[in-house]
Structure 1
C-alpha cells in the first residue's frame, strides 16, 4: 500500500485530530516554560505573547477546525472530500508553519510570510472551493457564514503577528472562532439531544440567524466604537441565554458528555459579558480574563468531547464515553477552574496556576492521543472505506 493510501489519509479528521492531540499537549507546556523564563524564546519579530496566541489559535485551534471542516464539508455537500496527497501536503504546510513560527527571527521576511501563511491559505481555499462549487447540494443553507468568516481568518492571523495591531488581531480571531463554535454547537447539540435523550430543542430561524449575524458583526468589534461593541456583545449574550433556557439544560447537564458542551456554550456567554464589563469599565481582574474564558471554556471544554465523538463515530465505533473519556473531560473542567477562577482568588500564585493549567492540557491530550491516534492510523472497524 502506498503511503498516500494509508488509513491516516482517508479523511481530514484523521491527520488533523492527531495533530490536535500532539499540539494540545505540547503548546501549553511550551508556553508555561516560556512564561516562567525557564525556556528562552528564540529571537522573533513578535513577542512571546503573540507567539502563544497565534499557536493556540492557528496551530492547535486550526488543527481542530481543519479536521472538523474537512470532514463535515464533504458530508454537507455530499462529495468524497480531500484525501491522500492533498491531506499530506496540508499536514506538511501545518508542520512548516510551526517551524517557521519558532524560527521566525532567522528567516527572511518573505520566506517567513510564505511559510506562515501557506497552510491557512491552502485549507481555506480548499474549503471554500468545496462549499461554493457544490452549493446546490449543500444541506445547510446557512453555510454562507463560513464563506464570510473563512477568508477573514487570514486577515486576523496576520494582524495577530503585528505589534501595532495585535489587540485587533486577537479580538478578530476570537470573534471568528466564536462564530464557528456557535454554528457548530447549534447543529450538533440539536442532533445530540435528539439522539441521546430523545429531546427536541428550540430552533427558530429568526433567532438563530440573528445570533450568528450579531456574532459576525462582533468579529469587527475592534473597529467599532467601544460602547457599540459592548452593547452589541451584551445583546448577543442575552439572546444566547434566552435560547439556552429553551435548550433543556436540565436534561443535558445530567450527562457529562453533552453537559460539557452546554458549559462551553455558557463560556461563550460569560466571555461576552466579561468583555462588556471590560469595554465600559476598568475591572481589576488578573490576566486577560475574557480571552481565557473563551479559550479554556469554549475551546477547552468542547473540543475534547467533540474529538471523542467524531473519532469513535467516524471510525465505525459506538459513541460511548467510558470512565477514561469522562476523566479527560473532568481534567479540562479542572483546567478551567485552575486557570480562570483561582488566579482571581490568589493572584500571587499566578505562575503556579498557569503551570497547573498547562499540566491539565498535557494530561488531557496525552490521554486522548494515546487512546485515539491508534484508531486514526487504522481502517474503520465496520469495514467501510471512510
Structure 2
C-alpha cells in the first residue's frame, strides 16, 4: 500500500529520515578520526580518554562510526520493510544527540570517569535496537527481527570493550566480537541487497545470467561463518578456529561468484557492492591463515581486511546509493562518487599490505590518506543532498 514517506514537519530536512544525519555525521567522524589517529599514534597528540590510543582508534571506528551508519541504514530500510512511517523529528534528533554524547564521553572519559562514559556511549546502540525492534514488531515484520541480532551483539561487544579496557588495560576479545558481529551483519544485509540490486540492474540493462536466489546454501554459509567468527572471538589460537575460517572463506567466495558480479562492470554503484563483498572471503582467509601459519600471516592483516575492506567499502557503497535514491536523484555514479569508491578500495589494499609489511610505514600513511579522502569526499559530495529537502522524483527504495 502506498504511504507518504514522511509526515509534515517543522524540523529541518536533515531530521526527516535516519540516513540523513547519521550518514553525514558518520562520514565526518570516520574521516577526521583517522586524521587524528596518526598524530595520536606517534605521540604528537593526545585525547582526554581513559582508553589507550590504539583502543580509542579501534573504538571510535568500530563503535562510533559504524553504529552511526548501521543506524542510518536500519531507520531508512525498516519503513520499506514494514510500511510504517520512518523515525523522524524529535525521536531522530534524540538518537543523534545520544550518539554525539557518546563520542564526547569517550574522548573525555578521563574527566568523567570510565563508568559514566561507558553508560553514555553504550546507551546509543541499546536505544537503536529498542527503536528498530519497536518498529519491526509494530509492522509485524517478524522475519527481519534477525537483523537485530548482530546489532545487539555489537552492543554487547561495546559493553565488553569498556570493561576490558578498564580492568585489563587494553581491549582484546571485544574487538573481535564487535568486528565479527559486523561481518555477519554484512553477510546478512549484503546477501540481500547485492544480488537484489544486481538482478534489478541486469534485468533492465543487460539480460542474461542473473544472480542465484537466496537459499539453503546462503543460510549454511552465514551459519558456518558465524560459528567461525565466534570461535575466532573466544578461541583465537585454536587450529579448529583457523580451519573454520578458511572453510567459511571458501563458501563465501562461492556465494559471491553466484551473484554474477562480473556482469556489472558498466555500473559502479552495483559493482562496488561486489568489490566490497570480496573482502569478506579475503578477511576470513587471512584471519584463518593467521591462526594456522602465524609466522607468515599477521593477525592485523585479517582484521583490516574486514575493517577497511568489508566494512568501510560496503558502508560507503550503501551510503552513496541510499543517499541518491532517497533524495530523489538518479541512481548513477558521478566522477566524484567513482573517485571515493576508488579511494576506499585503495585504502583497504594498502592497509592490508601495511599489516603484512609493518616496516613500510608509508603504506600506513597512504592508507590513512585515502581513507580520509573517501569519507570526507563523501561528506562534501553528498552533504548538500543530506541536508536539503528531497527532490520531487520517483522514490527508489534502499532495499
Match of 2:314 among 297, 302, 327: 302
Structure-2 change in CA distance of 1:125 and 1:211 (3 Å): same
Alignment TM-score, normalising by the size of structure 2: 0.88
1:169-221 C-alpha deviation (Å, 9 max, x unpaired) = 11111111011111121111122212222252112421111122223334522
Aligned to 2:137, which of 132, 136, 139? 132
2:110 to 89, 105, 109: 105
Contact 1:160 1:170 in 2 (8 A): yes
**Worse-matched range after superposition: 29-38 or 222-231:** 222-231
CA distance in 1, matches of 2:44, 2:322: 37
Instruction: Report which stretch shifted further, 276-285 or 151-160.
Output: 276-285
**1:228, distance to aligned residue in structure 2 (A):** 3.2
With 151-160 and 25-34 compared, the bigger mean Cα shift is at 151-160
Distance 2:328 2:88 in 1: 18
Aligned length: 378
CA change 1:371–1:74 in 2 (3 A) is: same
Gaps in structure 2 of 5+ consecutive residues: 1-7, 204-208
Q: Is the 8 A contact 1:253 1:260 kept in 2?
A: no
Q: 1:150 maps to what in 2?
A: 151
Instruction: Report the Cα offset of residue 31 of structure 1.
Output: 1.0
**Does residue 239 of structure 2 align to residue 239 of structure 1?**
no
Partner of 2:206: none
Matched, 1:365 2:342: no
Whole-angstrom CA distance in 2 between matches of 1:297 and 1:41: 27
SS in 2 for 1:172: helix
**Aligned counterparts, 1:107-256, within 5 A:** 107-135=112-140, 137=141, 141=143, 143-161=144-162, 162-163=164-165, 164=168, 166-198=171-203, 200-221=210-231, 222-224=233-235, 226-253=238-265, 255-256=267-268
> Hey, what's the Cα distance between the residues in 2 that align with 1:77 and 1:67?
16
Deviations 1:212-262 (A, max 9, x none): 222333452223582332222222212112222222232134543322222
Kindly report the root-mean-square deviation, in angstroms, between the aligned alpha carbons of the 2 structures. 2.3
Which residue pairs with 1:377 in the alignment?
Answer: 387
* Alpha-carbon spacing, 1:150–1:330, altered in 2? closer, same or farther (3 Å): closer
Q: 1:343 to 1:228 in 2, by over 3 A?
A: closer
Q: Is the 8 A contact 1:25 1:366 kept in 2?
A: yes
- Distance, in Å, in 2 between the alignment partners of 1:150 and 1:132 is 16
Match of 2:52 in 1: 47
- Structure 1 pair 286–172 and aligned structure 2 pair: CA distance change class (3 A): closer
**C-alpha displacement of 1:43:** 4.7
